[in-house]
């Protein structure tokens, strides 16, 4: 029984069957990658997982509870954090504040009016956030405006914001999309560091094979809206069906 | 002190000092000096600065922190005034219960309007608040006449029941017997300083309001509100529900507006529907932005500047201008005076509109940002003044690894 | 039955004004993505174009006539408008009489010019700033424009008459087979309605059948793609701003005889026209027109005594109430595109 169980999920947009009979099980404390050529339904699946889309059929269970029909903040409170394709951070706030906000969200829930404490008095939260920043090597940038960070640092900050919540499942949506090679490698190193130092389950939606094969422990290949195979990276590499699905695309890589 | 750090404490103390010495500060010129017309130390004007300062401070908690631009806050000002006058009529002319009821009523009313309006964001929110305010204004004028006394406005009358103090001879709003309209004049060195009970009452409340808004700015709650403005998507994916946060900010700012409305009624026990017109709500928008939205001191500065200038500008008529330009030859003077009189006296609104456009275009941070830029020119090394929550000190931009 | 028709007719003139202003607002929002709080001011300036032309045509030479005396015994002053001197008495009098329709010709170049100056001088700099800033700066502009008009024309409404031929009312009911005197309708309102239909038709035809309009419509749907095709979309959008200003101006000119123009009529109409735009669906031109007429008619029904006795005050708030309900129930409005305004 995995921590995330997707059963028979189907989703249709007009004439297009975006997802068909998707079954997926993510085991706790593994890095599970979902790959597939363009149009395979990766983004649709992700949107189903985070509650943005409600599938026509099937169920999505996280730790025995259904996530369908819940709002994004409720799903996060269940223990699922999300990293976006382009980093979503609080650009007007400082790096430190960016990391403190998720700490508050975990401690106080989705809404609380704590209007009469000062931020400076919240020693525990400050310590926690500082630890997190030190962990991702950003402590020296704590007072910078988040919007003025480099792209790679924004990604790093977003990751820190997710990790500080100690999520049980971290969803990553093409975390290296549009990045230069150096930034991509930095991100891979960061993710490896996270994988090796914490008990965390990660589900990565990714296009870049290099990223997938350096990180994943299980891989699901999606094609035309349905899972083709699910296996270890070693077995996936030489799998004929995968080659077929990626034909033409991999030639470019 | 009071849960503030050292810098904020001294900041608050400076604000208290400035507020308490306003009768001196706004009355810098001697009575018979030609500059006496620029004195602004009248109780009425000073109290208005404090009251509109409160109004703008509250508006700033919504707009400055969350970025939701409401054009409907005049409705809460109006509700506050009506509530206060009803308290005067029914219970007592003591201002404290009136002000408290004003805050409560406007809080309830803003909860209702906020709950509806906040289902939309951006320009749709602005339009919804606009429609709400206009609707309240029209209702106050027509159907709600039994509550609002329609066009005439709600007034205190000698035959009101006033359960608690009808027996006493009090005829004006008072604070435990001390009439708000009573003043003490201190004439010294040709100056005439007025210390008015009403002004000091408003000033003390304004300081409390300022302290509360300071606490909100520095609190985790304030940080959440800034997060709403910055990125709602990230906020909800971080497990926070933006809507109740925004609604809380909306209600708080509505209560500030109601407080201001109650104080207006306390200074002059009359409440009319025109106070609810959306253009009044537009005025508080102008004050907040002119002073500097998102900063603590900005809205108060904006309210003070606008109310003071309004008073001065409307006093400058053609005769005054003639006097100023008497050094010019007659024919030229006529044109110069004509030109300047477009912007003074009745033309104050034109000046205000132009000023507002210039600030929005060139100085989006308002007076506070302007002050900082000037300060930076002199000091060369910009230092944070502590009155600004939105612009933490910038480090040099980081170069990517 | 005749009551219903009468209320529909009564709603048409306000509805026409709403529709015309909302059309311009939507054009500007759809093309430039700017929320223009100064649009009501353009309507007001249009109305004052009519006032100005009437004043200009009424400029008179004053001659002392020694044969007559006024009540103080001084020689009486005889005013002769210059136009009567120049074009002869009959022609001059006709020109003065027809000053409002003439003002349309007079207003079009003025309004287009004002529109260009506004767009190039101010709004251009706000394309990449937040919507809130756009609202604020155009709000400031609206105040400035209204105060300038107040400086020149004073605070009181200025009566501006329709041509004599269109003053008064006619029995509309008879044409429709009702009893005589059942439906009496003023000529000018009928003209205003017809005029607005013509203007709306012209704008739609312009967008539909000219290449220029086609590009603008494509730009409204997807600005980036059209830009990528190497078409200078900005220049066309500037021209659309001028057209939107002219539409608002013409609506104002023709409205002058219905309600005497005053300096704050722009602000009064502004809130209502935003409400109309929202009800019609932000960004939808047909929606704006439809909602304009519908709300005008709805307002007129709400002011019937039968309705008012059941819901007192409903005539004052019906439009706002409708807008709030629509925003909450169907946020994209009557004809808005799916996804617009929906979270």
Q: What is the mean pLDDT of chain B?
A: 82
Please tell me which of the candidates C137, C312, C324 has its beta carbon nearest to residue B143.
C312
Residues of chain A found within 8 Å of residue B401, distances taken between Cβ atoms: 150, 152, 182, 186
User: What is the model's pLDDT at position A251?
Assistant: 44
Residues of chain B found within 8 Å of residue C275, distances taken between Cβ atoms: 127, 131
User: What is the model's pLDDT at position C1?
Assistant: 65
Structure confidence by residue, pLDDT tens digits, C286-295: 888 999 999 9
Q: How confident is the model at residue C277 (pLDDT cuts 50, 70, 90)?
A: confident
Q: Which chains touch C (3 or more CB pairs under 8 A)?
A: B
User: What is the model's pLDDT at position B205?
Assistant: 92
| Rounded Cα gap, residues B205 and B198, in angstroms | 11
Q: How confident is the model at residue B385 (pLDDT cuts 50, 70, 90)?
A: very low
Q: Which residues contact B392 (CB under 8 A, 6 or more apart)?
A: A94, A143, A145, B384
Using an 8 Å Cβ cutoff, are A118 and A110 in contact? no
| Dihedral sign from CA coordinates of B176, B177, B179, B183 | negative
Q: How confident is the model at residue A28 (pLDDT cuts 50, 70, 90)?
A: confident
What number is the average pLDDT over the span A225-247? 77
Report ipTM for this prediction: 0.88
Structure confidence by residue, pLDDT tens digits, B350-371: 888 898 999 888 888 888 888 8
User: What is the model's pLDDT at position A179?
Assistant: 77
What number is the average pLDDT over the span A224-228? 82
**Strand order of the sheet with strand A4-13?**
A16-26, A4-13, A57-62, A65-66
pLDDT higher than 50, residue C57: yes
Q: What is the mean pLDDT of chain A?
A: 84
Lowest mean pLDDT among A30-44, A213-227, B311-325: B311-325
| Dihedral sign from CA coordinates of C190, C192, C195, C197 | negative
Q: Do chains C and B touch (3 or more CB pairs under 8 A)?
A: yes
The residues that bridge with A169 in the sheet, in sequence order, are: A80, A201
- Indicate yes or no: CB of A143 within 8 angstroms of CB of B4: no
What number is the average pLDDT over the span C48-64? 83
Q: Which of A136-140, B12-16, B127-131, B210-214 has the highest mean pLDDT?
A: B210-214
Q: Which residues contact C2 (CB under 8 A, 6 or more apart)?
A: C173, C178, C179, C182, C183
B-side interface with A, Cβ within 8 Å? 3-5, 215-216, 218-224, 226-227, 229-231, 233-241, 244-245, 248, 390, 392-395, 397-401
Share of chain B above pLDDT 90, in %: 25
User: What is the model's pLDDT at position B334?
Assistant: 78
| Rounded Cα gap, residues B335 and B354, in angstroms | 21
- Indicate yes or no: CB of B240 within 8 angstroms of CB of A110: yes
Q: How many CA atoms lie within 13 A of C240 on its CB side?
A: 29
| Rounded Cα gap, residues A80 and A68, in angstroms | 13
User: What is the model's pLDDT at position B380?
Assistant: 61
| Dihedral sign from CA coordinates of A142, A147, A153, A156 | positive
Chain B residue with the nearest C-alpha to that of C320: B131
Please tell me which of the candidates B5, B220, B390 has its beta carbon nearest to residue A117.
B220
Q: Which of A5-14, B256-265, C128-137, C314-323 has the highest mean pLDDT?
A: B256-265
Using an 8 Å Cβ cutoff, are C264 and C48 in contact? no
Share of chain C above pLDDT 90, in %: 13
- Indicate yes or no: CB of A76 within 8 angstroms of CB of B239: yes
pLDDT higher than 80, residue B285: yes
pTM of the model: 0.87
User: What is the model's pLDDT at position B329?
Assistant: 78
Taking the CB of residue C68, how many other CB atoms lie within 10 A of it? 10
Torsion of CA C247, C253, C256, C259, to 10 degrees: 10
Please tell me which of the candidates B69, B121, B131 has its beta carbon nearest to residue C275.
B131
Using an 8 Å Cβ cutoff, are B86 and B101 in contact? yes
Distance from CA of B328 to the nearest CA of A (A): 52
- Indicate yes or no: CB of A73 within 8 angstroms of CB of B239: yes
- Indicate yes or no: CB of A104 within 8 angstroms of CB of B219: no
Using an 8 Å Cβ cutoff, are A93 and B224 in contact? no
Q: How confident is the model at residue B397 (pLDDT cuts 50, 70, 90)?
A: very low
Q: Is B353 on the interface with C (CB under 8 A)?
A: yes
pLDDT higher than 70, residue B390: no
pLDDT higher than 70, residue C19: yes
User: What is the model's pLDDT at position B288?
Assistant: 92
What number is the average pLDDT over the span C319-334? 82
pLDDT higher than 80, residue C60: no
Distance from CA of C54 to the nearest CA of B (A): 24
What number is the average pLDDT over the span B157-186? 72
User: What is the model's pLDDT at position A253?
Assistant: 42
Taking the CB of residue B111, how many other CB atoms lie within 10 A of it? 15
Please tell me which of the candidates B131, B278, B282 has its beta carbon nearest to residue C323.
B131
Using an 8 Å Cβ cutoff, are C109 and C7 in contact? no
Tell me which of B310, B350, B354, B363 to substitute to probe the interface with C (most C C-beta atoms closer than 10 Å): B350
Short-list B64, B16, B19, CA closest to B216: B64
Structure confidence by residue, pLDDT tens digits, B93-117: 888 888 999 999 999 999 999 998 8
Distance from CA of B368 to the nearest CA of C (A): 18
Residues of chain A found within 8 Å of residue B231, distances taken between Cβ atoms: 88-91
Give residue for tokens 């149009």: A39
* Fold adopted by C2-329: ABC transporter involved in vitamin B12 uptake, BtuC (1.10.3470)
pLDDT higher than 90, residue C216: no
Share of chain A above pLDDT 70, in %: 96
Structure confidence by residue, pLDDT tens digits, B25-67: 777 777 777 667 777 777 888 888 899 999 999 999 999 999 9
pLDDT higher than 50, residue B381: yes
- Indicate yes or no: CB of C313 within 8 angstroms of CB of B116: no
Q: Which residues contact B236 (CB under 8 A, 6 or more apart)?
A: A71, A72, A73, A76, B242
Chain B residue with the nearest C-alpha to that of A182: B401
Tell me which of C121, C281, C315, C316 to substitute to probe the interface with B (most B C-beta atoms closer than 10 Å): C316
Q: Is A86 on the interface with B (CB under 8 A)?
A: no
Pairing of strands A4-13, C60-69: unpaired
User: What is the model's pLDDT at position A107?
Assistant: 87
Q: How confident is the model at residue B383 (pLDDT cuts 50, 70, 90)?
A: very low
Higher pLDDT, A185 or C305: A185
User: What is the model's pLDDT at position C272?
Assistant: 86
Higher pLDDT, A211 or C116: C116
Lowest mean pLDDT among A144-153, B5-14, B150-159, C176-185: C176-185
Structure confidence by residue, pLDDT tens digits, B211-251: 999 989 989 999 999 999 998 889 989 989 999 999 999 99
Lowest mean pLDDT among A44-48, B144-148, C20-24: B144-148
């Amino acid at each position: 029984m995995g921590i995330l169980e997707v059963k028979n999920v189907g989703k249709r947009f007009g004439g297009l069957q975006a997802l068909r009979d998707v079954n997926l099980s993510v085991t706790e404390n593994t890095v599970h990658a979902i790959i597939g050529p363009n149009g395979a339904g990766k983004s649709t699946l992700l949107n189903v997982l985070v509650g943005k889309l409600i599938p026509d059929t099937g169920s999505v269970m996280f730790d025995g509870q259904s996530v369908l029909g819940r709002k994004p903040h409720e799903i996060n409170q269940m223990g699922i954090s999300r990293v976006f394709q382009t980093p979503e951070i609080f650009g007007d706030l400082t790096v430190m504040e960016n990391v403190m906000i998720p700490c508050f969200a975990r401690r106080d829930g989705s809404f609380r009016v704590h209007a009469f404490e000062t931020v400076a008095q919240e020693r525990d939260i400050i310590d926690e956030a500082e630890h997190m920043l030190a962990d991702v090597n950003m402590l020296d940038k704590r007072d910078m405006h988040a919007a003025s960070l480099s792209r790679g640092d924004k990604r790093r900050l977003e990751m820190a914001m997710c990790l500080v919540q100690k999520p049980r499942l971290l969803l990553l949506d093409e975390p290296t999309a549009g990045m230069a090679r150096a930034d991509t490698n930095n991100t891979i190193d960061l993710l490896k560091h996270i994988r090796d130092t914490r008990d965390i389950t990660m589900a990565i939606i990714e296009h870049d094979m290099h990223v997938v094969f350096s990180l994943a422990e299980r891989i699901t290949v999606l094609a035309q809206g349905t899972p083709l195979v699910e296996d270890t990276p070693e077995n996936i590499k030489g799998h004929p069906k995968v080659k077929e699905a990626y034909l033409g695309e991999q030639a470019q890589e | 002190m009071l849960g503030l750090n050292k810098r904020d404490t001294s900041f608050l103390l400076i604000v208290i000092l400035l507020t308490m010495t306003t009768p001196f500060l706004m009355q810098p010129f001697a009575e018979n000096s030609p500059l006496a017309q620029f004195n602004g130390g009248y109780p009425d004007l000073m109290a208005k600065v404090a009251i509109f300062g409160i109004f703008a401070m509250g508006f700033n908690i919504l707009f400055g922190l969350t970025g939701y631009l409401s054009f409907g806050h005049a409705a809460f000002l109006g509700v506050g005034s009506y509530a206060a006058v009803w308290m005067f009529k029914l219970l007592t002319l003591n201002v404290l219960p009136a002000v408290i009821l004003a805050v409560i009523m406007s809080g309830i009313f803003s909860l209702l309007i906020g709950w509806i309006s906040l289902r939309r964001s951006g320009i749709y929110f602005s339009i919804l608040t606009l429609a709400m305010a206009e609707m309240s204004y029209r209702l106050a004028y027509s159907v709600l006449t039994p509550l609002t006394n329609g066009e005439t406005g709600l007034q205190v009358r000698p035959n009101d029941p006033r359960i608690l103090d009808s027996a006493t001879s009090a005829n004006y709003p008072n604070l435990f017997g001390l009439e708000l309209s009573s003043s003490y004049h201190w004439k010294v060195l040709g100056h005439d300083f007025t210390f008015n009970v009403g002004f000091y009452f408003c000033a003390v409340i304004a300081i409390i309001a300022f302290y509360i808004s300071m606490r909100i700015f520095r609190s985790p709650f304030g940080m959440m509100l800034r997060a709403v403005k910055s990125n709602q998507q990230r906020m909800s994916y971080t497990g926070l529900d933006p809507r109740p946060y925004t609604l809380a900010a909306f209600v708080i700012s509505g209560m500030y507006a109601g407080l201001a409305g109650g104080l207006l009624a306390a200074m002059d026990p009359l409440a009319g529907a025109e106070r609810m017109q959306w253009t009044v709500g537009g005025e508080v928008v102008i004050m907040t932005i002119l002073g500097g939205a998102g900063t603590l001191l900005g809205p108060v500065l904006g309210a003070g500047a606008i109310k003071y200038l309004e008073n001065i500008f409307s006093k400058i008529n053609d005769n005054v201008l003639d006097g100023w330009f008497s050094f010019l030859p007659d024919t030229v003077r006529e044109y110069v005076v004509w030109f300047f009189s477009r912007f003074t006296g009745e033309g104050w609104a034109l000046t205000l509109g132009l000023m507002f456009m210039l600030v929005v275009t060139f100085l989006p941070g308002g007076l506070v940002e302007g002050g900082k830029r000037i300060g930076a020119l002199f000091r060369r090394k910009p230092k944070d003044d502590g009155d600004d929550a939105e612009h933490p000190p910038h480090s040099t931009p980081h170069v990517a690894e | 039955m005749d009551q219903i028709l009468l209320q529909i007719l009564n709603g048409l003139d306000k509805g026409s004004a709403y529709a015309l202003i909302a059309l311009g607002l939507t054009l500007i929002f759809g093309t430039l993505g700017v929320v223009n709080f100064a649009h009501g001011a353009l309507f007001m300036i249009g109305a004052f174009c009519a006032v100005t032309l009437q004043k200009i045509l009424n400029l008179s030479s004053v001659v002392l006539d020694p044969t007559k005396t006024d009540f103080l015994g001084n020689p009486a002053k005889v005013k002769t408008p210059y136009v009567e001197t120049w074009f002869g008495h009959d022609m001059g009098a006709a020109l003065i009489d027809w000053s409002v329709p003439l003002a349309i010709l007079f207003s079009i170049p003025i309004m287009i010019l004002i529109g260009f100056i506004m767009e190039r001088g101010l709004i251009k700099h706000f394309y990449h700033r937040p919507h809130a800033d756009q609202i604020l700066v155009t709000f400031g502009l609206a105040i400035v424009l209204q105060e300038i008009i107040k400086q020149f024309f004073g605070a009181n409404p200025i009566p501006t008459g329709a041509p004599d031929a269109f003053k008064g009312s006619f029995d509309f009911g008879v044409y429709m087979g009702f009893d005589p005197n059942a439906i009496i309708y003023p000529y000018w309102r009928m003209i205003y309605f017809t005029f607005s239909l013509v203007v709306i038709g012209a704008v739609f035809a312009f967008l539909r059948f000219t290449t220029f309009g086609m590009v603008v419509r494509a730009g409204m749907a997807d600005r980036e793609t059209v830009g990528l095709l190497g078409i200078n979309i900005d220049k066309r959008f500037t021209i659309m701003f001028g057209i939107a200003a002219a539409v608002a101006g013409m609506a104002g000119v023709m409205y002058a005889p219905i309600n005497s123009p005053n300096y704050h009529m722009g602000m009064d109409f502004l809130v209502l026209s935003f409400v109309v735009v929202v009800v019609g669906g932000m960004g939808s031109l047909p929606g704006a027109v439809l909602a304009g007429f519908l709300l005008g008619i709805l307002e007129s029904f709400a002011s019937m005594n039968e309705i008012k006795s059941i819901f007192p005050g409903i005539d004052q708030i019906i439009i706002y109430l409708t807008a709030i309900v629509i925003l909450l129930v169907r946020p994209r409005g009557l004809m808005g595109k799916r996804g617009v305004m929906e979270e």
